[in-house]
A and B are shown apart, each in its own frame.
Chain A
Amino acid sequence: MNGLSRGRKNMEEQYQQAIRYWTLAQPVVSAYVTAVVRDFRDRDDLLQAISVAVLEAFSSYDPARPFTAWAIGIARNQIGTYLRERKRNRLIFDAETVDLLAVAFEQIDSAQTRKLDLLQDCLAKLEGRARQLCELRYQNDLKPAAIGSLLGMAPNTVAKSLQRIRDQLRQCIERNAALEGGPS
């Protein structure tokens, strides 16, 4: 194998490794971006930009550091750049809160994100109005007031119902995780 082929093989291996790490960290980074950027479309655009930035910068990643923390650092820079470029200020939290949240997200372990793989089964158990509310909120990105107008419900009732649904889903996930012998 000549030097050029070795170089290409190393690059491909490095790329594959970056993809593996990113696949594991992505749910946490995605949640972090959603926590500090309110607009779902902004979030989607940002996640694309962050994934590219992570792959581009991967050669500078120090494996001694946790990858998720490193990726969240990149996400923070990208969020700042993105908002500056679009002359927007859609960050709701101040810098101190954003920093504290970054630390909190960095500490989320992979077991917690794996547990969320059980969400699909729990969602399948939702029926009737609960399912409808969940779909209107998350499929169609409607706020409680808009859902209330559509279904003839008071916004506060919708908000309370959504809160209950999320609690139910959380409990369902914990229950299923315990049954599977996973982390609780």
Chain B
Amino acid sequence: MIPNARELIDGYLDDALTADQQEELSAWIKANPEHARIFAEAMLLHDRLRNTLGTVEAPDALHPSFNSESPLGWPGGSWLMSPLARTTAAAALLILGLATLWFSIGTPTASAAIRELDRIIVNSMKSKDRTFEIVVEDITTERRGKRSARSESQRPPKPPLDGAALYVRSGNQFVLIRKTQDGLPFVTGSNGKQSWAINTRGPVRVSADVHRFDHDLPGHETSVPLTDLHEGLQQLKRAYDLTFSALGPEEYQTGDGHEARQLIAVKKPKERGPQRVEIVYDATTGGILRMRFVQMPYGPDRLDLRLSLVSQEELPADFFEHTSHHVLDRKIEVEN
């Protein structure tokens, strides 16, 4: 080993190499497979240290003025010298310690929850079609300005989501069937290439914009689209904290006699989307049985919404074409 190879490796581990040193390290690794092995072993210990100890969230969450990239991000050297600063620093370290303890206790559950979510994601890709029933449990309306309220009042009321049937297939294909106040079906959908809306009266509206008519479903603007289970679950992995929660005794078993479990995803600060998502799933297969979205953004409203799996039976091949949902002589209006 060249004399400073160990220093280069350690510099790499601590992200403290200059560009030239980085080049030097790269050249050293390439010079001999044994060097690559030594580097790999050092990295193995480094990574294990991180996995064993590293569970505290970003320090700026604990101290907003901290900038981990630059020590100059601290509010000046004299800050550290004052008694107040010493007390604050000690408190910060104490908080770090407590946070570490908390996270180290919580980590196995969180890791297990992530693994379970991975199983759910894998299972979500197995089934081609799914049919859900939507139940809106609660609607909270945020206070709106006059202009917004006026423009809202000029629009015809949307058919309610409560009681709607949602059919989804991979590739952004969906059919949403709601009932108007007259009890007539209002159907929107997409075949993945174009979207469409079939009102009780007037022409069938068809658009090349596949998202033109999915705005009536909440979630699309916050990366938790109800029409794309896979994308929504991936977003839960990225932007939510995951834990398990107990189920009521009547919900322990699925219809197949399997154990049912519940995964709870709570939105991380500064992320967008529903505040909380609850997933009840089959512990044996990882298949989703029910999802509940709490405080889900929906225009100016926040919905508490439940999505219950009705069927995973394969739907007819042309089910996501608008022609499957209206008589053939209906007038078609193509929109941009």
Binding site for B on A (CB under 8 A): 12, 27-28, 30-32, 34-35, 38, 40, 45, 48, 51-52, 55-56, 92-94, 96-97, 100-101, 103-105, 107-108, 112-113, 116, 119-120, 123, 132, 134-135, 137-146, 148-150, 152, 155, 159, 162-163, 166, 169-170, 173
Contacts and interface: CB of A to CB of B under 8 A. Distances in A.
Interface in B75-123: 77, 80, 89, 93, 96-97, 100, 114-115, 118-119, 121-122
A52 B121 contact: yes
B43 A31 contact: yes
B50 A101 contact: no
Given A35-B39, A97-B30, A159-B10, A138 B49 contact: yes
Given A116-B44, A141-B68, A163 B6 contact: yes
Contacts of B16: 143-145, 155, 159
B59 interface: yes
B309 interface: no
A112 B71 CA distance: 36
B52 A123 contact: yes
A135 B122 contact: no
Nearest to A163: B10
A136 to B, nearest CB: 8
Interface size class for chain B?
35 or more
Interface in B266-305: 284
A163 B51 CA distance: 18
B45 A141 contact: no
B54 A55 contact: no
Interface of B: 6-7, 10-11, 13-16, 22, 26, 29-30, 33, 36-37, 39-56, 58-59, 66, 68-71, 73-74, 77, 80, 89, 93, 96-97, 100, 114-115, 118-119, 121-122, 125, 237-238, 284
Given A135-B53, A142-B59, A143-B68, A112 B41 contact: yes
B71 A145 contact: yes
Nearest to B81: A152
Nearest to A36: B43
Top 9 A-B pairs, shortest CB-CB distance: A104-B36, A149-B71, A31-B47, A138-B53, A104-B40, A163-B10, A145-B71, A35-B43, A34-B47
Given A143-B68, A149-B74, A101 B40 contact: yes
B29 A55 contact: no
Contact of A40 (B50, B74, B122): B50
B45 A166 contact: yes
